[in-house]
Structure 1
C-alpha cells in the first residue's frame, strides 16, 4: 500500500513547466505549496473487500524548494525530494492503520522518500506529461515513469493513477483470521494535487 506515498508528490513539479519558459543551461529554483484541495490515496483490495488510505495533505505545511534545469521538452531536477511520514496515512480505523504501519516497518523506517528526477512533455497533448520518480521505502529504491495530467481551468491541478506492487520493496502484507484474508500486493496510488508557487 505504501508508495502511495506518495509518489504523488512528484507531480507538484509539473508546475515548473507552466511557470518557467527560459531555455538556458542555468540551474533554477522554485518554491511551491500544496493546497488543502489536494488529495492522495492508496487503494488496495483483499480477497473479501477493498481499502483506501488517505494522506494528510496538511502535513505539507512547509513550502518545498526544488532545483532544476530546463531543456526543450523536459526538466531535470537535482534537488527535488519529498519526505512522507508514514503516520500521516489514515486507512479509516486503528486496526488497519496499525497494519499499514507494520507493513512499512514504521518504527525503523518512518518515512517514504520521493526523489523527482525528470518531467517530460508529451508533444501530442499539452496537458499530459511523464514524471520520472525514484521512491525509497525501507531502504529499497525503485524508479518509475508516471503519466500525469494537468488542468489549468481552476488553478493548477496535477493528477494521475499509478499501479504499484509492494513486493518490489520486499514488503509482506499481513494476513488475518488464520490466513483466510489476504491482501493483494498490487495497489493503486490516486492523486490530485493543487499547486501554488510561493
Structure 2
C-alpha cells in the first residue's frame, strides 16, 4: 500500500499582463529632417506571462502589416513599404520570448522579423508609462536586416542607417503589477 505524504507549502502565483493593443512608431533621420511612421492596433486581450521562459504557444506575437503604417503622406508611405520590402514580406513580426519584472521596469527578450530576417534582441528594457503602458525604444540598423537606405533626388536626400523604433504595449488596467 503506497504512502503519500503531503507538505503544506505556498503555491506561487503566476504573474502576467493582459495586452489589449500596441502602438509602434518608427523614426528615421534624413538630411532634410525626421520621418515618423506609426501603427496601432487594439485587441481583445492577449496574456503575456512574466518571470519565466514563455513557451511557443503562450508567446505574445505582434504581426504588424507594413502597408498599415502611416508616415504622413502617400509618397512616404510608399517609400517606407518599399524599404521594408513589403511586396515579399508584408508583415513585421515582434515575438516576446521572455519578460522578467525587475523593480519598476521589465527586461525582455524579443525576436524581431523584418524583411524576412530574424534577430533576437536580449536585455530589452520596457518601462512603465502613464496610461497603463509598457514602452521600450529600439535602435535598428539597416544592414542588420539587409535593407538599403532609401535615397531621393539623386542622393541629395539621404536617410541615416538607423531606425529608432518605439514599442508601446497597451495594458488592461487590472493587470499591472
- Who is 2:9 aligned against? none
Q: C-alpha deviations, 1:62-107, integer Å up to 9, x for none?
A: 54355x5x6xxx2221232221111111010100100000011111
Moved over 6 A (4+): none
| Residue in structure 2 matched with residue 17 of structure 1 by the alignment | none
Root mean square deviation, CA, Å? 2.5
TM-score normalised by structure 2 residue count: 0.78
Q: Which residue of 2 aligns with 1:98?
A: 78
Q: C-alpha separation between the residues in 2 aligned to 1:134 and 1:191?
A: 13
Name whichever structure is richer in helix by fraction.
1
Alpha-carbon distance, 1:170 to partner: 0.2
* Structure 1 match to 2:125: 147
- Tell me, in whole angstroms, the C-alpha distance in 1 between the residues paired with 2:19 and 2:23: 16
Distance 1:102 1:172 in 2: 10
Which secondary structure state, in structure 2, belongs to the residue aligned with residue 183 of structure 1? strand
Following superposition, the deviation at residue 155 of structure 1 comes to 5.2
Task: Report what 2:95 is aligned to.
Answer: 115
- Residue 49 of structure 1 corresponds to 33
Task: Give me the whole-angstrom Cα distance separating, in 1, the residues matched to 2:136 and 2:16.
Answer: 25
Q: Residue 162 of structure 1: CA displacement?
A: 1.6
Alignment correspondent of 1:157 = 133
| 2:64 counterpart of 1:64 | no
Question: Which residue is 1:75 aligned to?
Answer: 52
Quote the Cα distance in structure 1 between the aligned partners of 2:72 and 2:96: 29
Q: What residue in structure 2 maps to residue 176 of structure 1? A: 152
* Residue aligning to 1:87: 67
Q: Deviation per CA, 1:106-132, whole angstroms, max 9, x where unpaired?
A: 11110011121111233xxx2111110
